[in-house]
Amino acid sequence: MQYTEGIRDFAERHAIALSVAFVAGAGLLAVRRWMAGGVCRSKARLDGKTVLITGANTGIGKETALDMAQRGARVILACRDMTRARIAADEIRQKSGNGNVLVKKLDLASLQSVRDLAKDVQENETRLDILINNAGIMMCPKWKTEDGFEMQFGVNHLGHFLLTNSLLDLLKKSAPSRVVIVSSLAHEKGHIHFDDINLDKSYKREQSYRQSKLANVLFGRELAARLQGTDVTVYSLHPGVIRTELGRHLLPTLPLWKKIILKPFIMLIKSPWEGAQTTIYCAVDESLANVSGLYYSDCAPKTPAPQALNDATAKKLWDLSASMVGLA
């Protein structure tokens, strides 16, 4: 009796403070829910199917690979660091109970490595049902790939461009099959610098990342157009803002005050599981079976920026990319 009275007394005296705390808490929860975004509800099974994911040793790639393994697929983790890849594969096998998870070496900053992986897959795999171009590097210093391309354009776009083209025959043979391209909201401020594609004249790390992510969306669009009638469908997407290692080149260079301001937002951004949902949706959702060439966010279609819808730019980028990787 006395105890409840005490609580009531406390509540009455602190009514305003308690209301404020309650509203703030509920508000924070609502913002957190909203930030978490869409969830892939498809229960589609992938038994007997093969999925290849680039950059699957960490971040959203690893979460996507785990989901594919849980659906029964044979999952190939294509990674540049074989030690990290084997640790991730062990974890995925153990969590999913699916032993059919293997690792293959792929360094997207080397065209030779891309060719070697493609040859390995063509010779050793009987089918490829889902190709997920997930690997990415963000806002690194002015680095070059083995072939002399600007690093972010080289890895995020050119490496995947060659990889996808090299695996097209196998994808067509396995149709209906899908190509999923992980882009970013960053494409919205992007521009393809056709006169200085490697940004040799003036390198800005943000500009370079945006260009590479715009290239991802344009590639998806042009690829879908070229694959019409083959039953190989193509999807590009923004996964959300997610707690991963993607900031590894950017964060150490930020001044302390920016790090302090950013800290509280960390709890609001997506977990890797939440961040993998749109990729998974594009890879398996039955409702997308006959749709191709569109861009997605939070497990729903979204209109990308106008420059990502320009067919002439998409075609020009395709021709330039083909000549850069030696496919022309």
Measuring CA to CA, how many Å separate 169 from each of 9, 51, 128, 159, 177? 75, 15, 9, 17, 11
Select the span of 46-54, 115-123, 206-214, 226-234 touching ligand NAG (CB under 6 A).
115-123
Q: What is the DSSP string of 236-267?
A: EEE--SB-SSGGGTTGGGS-HHHHHHHHHHHT
Which is nearer to ligand NAP, 107 or 298 (by Cβ)? 107
User: Cα 97–98–101 angle (5° rounding)?
Assistant: 135
Q: 295 an active-site residue?
A: no
How many CB atoms are closer than 10 A to CB 322?
Answer: 14
What stretch of H or E contains 3? helix 2-13
Name every residue whose Cβ is closer than 8 Å to that of residue 95 and which is 6 or more positions away in sequence.
Answer: 66, 69, 70
Quick check: 135 binds ligand NAP (CB under 6 A)? yes
Count of positions on this chain that bind ligand NAG (CB under 6 A) = 8
Smallest distance, ligand NAG to C-beta of residue 245, A: 28
228 binds ligand NAG (CB under 6 A): no
Among candidate residues 3, 209, 235, 281, the one labeled active-site is: 209
Interaction between residue 290 and ligand NAG (CB under 6 A)? yes
The 3-state DSSP class for residue 235 equals: strand
Q: How far is the CB of 292 from ligand NAG (least distance, A)?
A: 11
Q: Which of 124, 228, 253, 323: binder of ligand NAG (CB under 6 A)?
A: 124
**61 counts as binding ligand NAP under rule CB under 6 A:** yes
Chain residue at closest Cβ approach to ligand NAP: 59
Q: Is 277 in the site for ligand NAP (CB under 6 A)?
A: no
Under the criterion CB under 6 A, does residue 287 sit at the interface with ligand NAG? Answer: yes
Q: Which among 236, 234, 243, 59 has a CA at the least distance from the CA of 136?
A: 59
Indicate which of ligand NAG, ligand NAP, none lies near residue 119 (CB less than 5 to 8 Å, by partner kind).
ligand NAG
Q: Which residues are catalytic?
A: 209
Q: Which residues lie near ligand NAG (CB under 6 A)?
A: 119-120, 123-124, 286-287, 289-290
